[in-house]
Amino acid sequence: MSDRSEKYFQMLDGWLKYYGFEPITVHESSGADLVFKRSRVEVSKFGKVDCYICVKYMPEGATGQEMKAFSEKMYTLANRHRTGVPLGFGAMMVVYPLIITENISGELAGFLNQYCPKHFAAAEFPSAIDLSTGYLYYFPGTPIWGYAYYGTYRRESYSFFSPKSWQEVSASLPPDPGTVR
């Protein structure tokens, strides 16, 4: 792992804790380097929402097919892990598969620009962060069937994964009372 990726992983861990996520342990063969979960009741989604973030470091990048396979595998992993009432009956699941790369390919960026999987009472919203530029890539559109939620998925992906967002949030936080100015 590069120094830049190690720093990003440390920052990601801190920001996901800030947003209420907890790390969960998954088997090494799961395909994810890190998995985080947050469960809470959200009125806008009419019940309990289990949100999973599944992270994979791929320094040389990934193809669109590798992203698709990773995303589908993480959706299945999250669905097997979650407990409670069935999806759609007061429960919803959101899965954010994230690939961290040192240099994203044009092919992967193009794939994410059009990849929009559909599920009942659940969402799979894959993203990729390019550490060399700090840019975050994900599906930019809003499908008709996802009109009520896709804006939220884009905002959350940006908030959770983008170093630019972290800087914006940090600048808006009150100063730590223990620091001297």
> What's the pLDDT tens digit per position in 83-131?
888 888 888 999 999 999 999 999 999 999 999 999 998 999 999 999 9
- Nearest CA-CA partner of 145 in 167, 114, 123, 127: 123
What does the alpha-carbon distance between residue 14 and residue 57 come to, in Å, rounded to a whole number?
A: 17
End-to-end CA, the chain? 35
Domain boundaries of the chain, sorted by first residue: 3-172
What does the alpha-carbon distance between residue 138 and residue 149 come to, in Å, rounded to a whole number?
A: 15
> What's the pLDDT tens digit per position in 46-88?
688 999 999 999 988 899 999 999 999 999 999 999 888 888 8
pTM: 0.89
